[in-house]
Chain A
């Protein structure tokens, strides 16, 4: 039996297909990332306009996740989003209850992160943008990325190596900072 009353917190790692979400999760997780699936039945409308028939399709999407046990049974779960926008329909479930998010970005494929940025902004979920460096190199600066993604000034863009534990820790700490600042600001307004 584990010690009494563990409490869990969820964070989300979003980004395009193949950008390194699972690698990032694995760098800080105490377990090898696990894969879980959600099957969704989505009504798709208008595929065949002439027939006006609604069709239902069942899609199975995979999510990888990891776990970090903090002292006193505080358990942090990190969930990677399914890598493609067309699975956006299941993000509500994933993000419901999440405390914050990391958008992992490959600056050569910025368009892959538009969906995540828009989604978190619309939901008012605290997030940071982590610019993944491959072999220590990025083709763009954080400032360029912030401009290209049209981020609000308060959104941090930080360099990160998804394979490196210290680097990923830094990303999470930056995210916690954003959450903490927002809480203090909210408390100030109250």
Chain B
């Protein structure tokens, strides 16, 4: 019986990554990075269960995929697959990340400088 209890407890905490993603290791949506922020679109998500439902709860406001991964205690790759699915289904939208090309806009780096200076 003691063994059963242990099993029940750990089952709650830990889902094997390949079960969450049905064995997939790559997201269906390209170019998702760990720092990419995602957010609910406002679609009806009442039918979503388990990990997908938990992702949606986290994404009430914009949050990075790394944060999704940390809060759900799943690897980054698994979080990308889950988030990618929810984007494909129209439940999540992605926000922009600044990459080096967009930095050509001096304004962005100046905002970063002003922001950190004001911390």
Contacts and interface: CB of A to CB of B under 8 A. Distances in A.
Closest 8 CB pairs of A and B: A70-B115, A34-B70, A2-B61, A10-B35, A9-B98, A36-B69, A36-B70, A77-B35
Interface in B65-119: 66-67, 69-71, 75-77, 95-100, 103-104, 106, 108-109, 111-117, 119
Interface stretch (A18-26, A44-52, A93-101, A108-116): A93-101
A35 interface: yes
A39 B36 CA distance: 19
A176 B115 CA distance: 11
Interface of A: 1-2, 5-10, 28, 34-39, 60, 63, 65, 67-68, 70-77, 79, 93-94, 96-97, 99, 165, 169, 172-173, 176, 179-180, 183, 186-187
A109 to B, nearest CB: 27
Question: Could you say which of A1, A37, A39, A180 has the most chain B C-beta atoms within 10 Å of its C-beta?
Answer: A37
A99 B37 CA distance: 16
Contacts of B116: 28, 68, 70, 76, 169, 172-173, 176
B35 A93 contact: no
B75 A6 contact: no
Given A2-B61, A7-B97, A8-B95, 18 more contacts: A2-B62, A7-B96, A8-B97, A9-B98, A34-B67, A38-B76, A65-B70, A72-B111, A76-B116, A93-B34, A96-B33, A99-B99, A172-B116, A176-B109, A176-B116, A180-B106, A183-B104, A186-B104
A94 B60 CA distance: 25
B37 A6 contact: yes
A70 B112 contact: yes
B21 to A, nearest CB: 12
A5 B95 contact: yes
Interface magnitude class on chain B: 35 or more
A73 B96 CA distance: 11
B115 A99 contact: no
B112 A176 contact: yes
A76 to B, nearest CB: 7
B52 to A, nearest CB: 19
Question: Could you say which of A36, A72, A76, A165 has the most chain B C-beta atoms within 10 Å of its C-beta?
Answer: A36
A10 B33 CA distance: 10
Contacts of A8: 35-37, 64, 95-98
B15 to A, nearest CB: 14
A7 B70 contact: no
A28 B104 CA distance: 26
A4 to B, nearest CB: 9
